Amino acid sequence: MSFSKELLQELIGFVFLVGLPPQGIEKNALRLIKHLGLRHFIFFERDFGPGGTFWEIKNQISPLLLAVDQEGGPVTRLKPPLVPKLEAPLEVAKASNPLVAVRHQALSCLKGLKQVGLNFNLAPVLDLADHKAPAFLRARTFGQDPQLVAKLGREYVKTFLQHGVLCCAKHFPGLGGVILDPHLDLPRTEKINPQALRPFFEAIGAGVPAIMTTHLVVDDLGYDPVTFSPQAINILRGQLGFKGLILTDDLNMGAIERHFPLAEAVLKAFEAGHDLVLICQDFHKATEAIKIFRQEVYRSKVLQGRIFEAACRIRETIQKQLPLGV
């Protein structure tokens, strides 16, 4: 298949999920967004104040995916009075009837997101971890019991899909038992825990539209982190039968930035088989990396096919799962 330069530019902009400048969208940032064809954005607490970038981006372009990490508890970007308070997932799992509690939590969350105008929640967290977990993961999960985590994750996903908001299971293949925080540096484990895959398998059965991988070296899969591992993607696609979107965790995290130039990380993530690349914290670095990636795509028929496949999967997910539009 042959692609025009104009079509390639459109496709490339479609496969990134980026964070915006904290100081607001000045003219140069808006020019870059339009020039690079960026359509998908992730937002943080700073973006929702009066005159924040969330409202700016909705008014100035036509965004498609509007994402947020609204997990509840320690990772909650939207807070009262804008949306209802959300308990930490670990506390939800301790309720007398956790299935009812997680359904209530998911409903409260998605209604708040819809009211604000967001359509993609980067939750639930399906790692196996309890109250003894390191600080970066503590209280963000439904616990350490794979059966319970799978059951609650499945209910969370089903509730979101019933109400037309996208959700995302993370962090594949599981950060349970990892000590080093990937926000800071690159953790390592010897092999994948088969029990850690169970919640993801159940989420896939429930129809989860997206799964986020994690920055973790698994010795059994080679020297690269899962973010750059075709073997890890093959486990998701082949062994677990996942047909939805696969996205990276933030490439601005220390696990990647300390070891790989951002432009190289973007290229390796797409070559591994990811559909959507997440770059949260540095808009300038993100746009510079995307420009470099463009040139790589122009030169490579293999990459062009990969980007076309990813963009088609993203568009298909939006059309299928967001029936009321964005």
Give, for 76, the enclosing helix (H) or strand (E). strand 75-76
User: CB neighbours of 18 closer than 8 A, spacing ≥ 6?
Assistant: 38, 40, 41, 42, 278, 279, 280, 283, 286, 287
Residues marked active site are found at 249
CB contact at 8 A, 10 and 37: yes
Q: Report d(CA 326, CA 324) in Å as an integer.
A: 7
CB contact at 8 A, 176 and 127: yes
- Return the structure tokens found at 147: 């059966």
CB contact at 8 A, 244 and 206: no
Q: Report d(CA 16, CA 39) in Å as an integer.
A: 8
- What does the DSSP assignment read for 210-233? EEEE---EEGGG-SSBGGG-HHHH
CB contact at 8 A, 15 and 276: yes
Alpha helices in the chain (DSSP H): 5-14, 27-36, 53-60, 89-93, 98-116, 146-162, 194-206, 230-234, 254-257, 262-272, 283-299, 301-321
- Measured over the CA atoms of residue 178, residue 183, residue 187 and residue 193, the dihedral's sign is positive
Q: Report d(CA 242, CA 266) in Å as an integer.
A: 22
- Measured over the CA atoms of residue 61, residue 63, residue 69 and residue 72, the dihedral's sign is positive
**Closest by Cα among 164, 163, 136 to 69:** 136
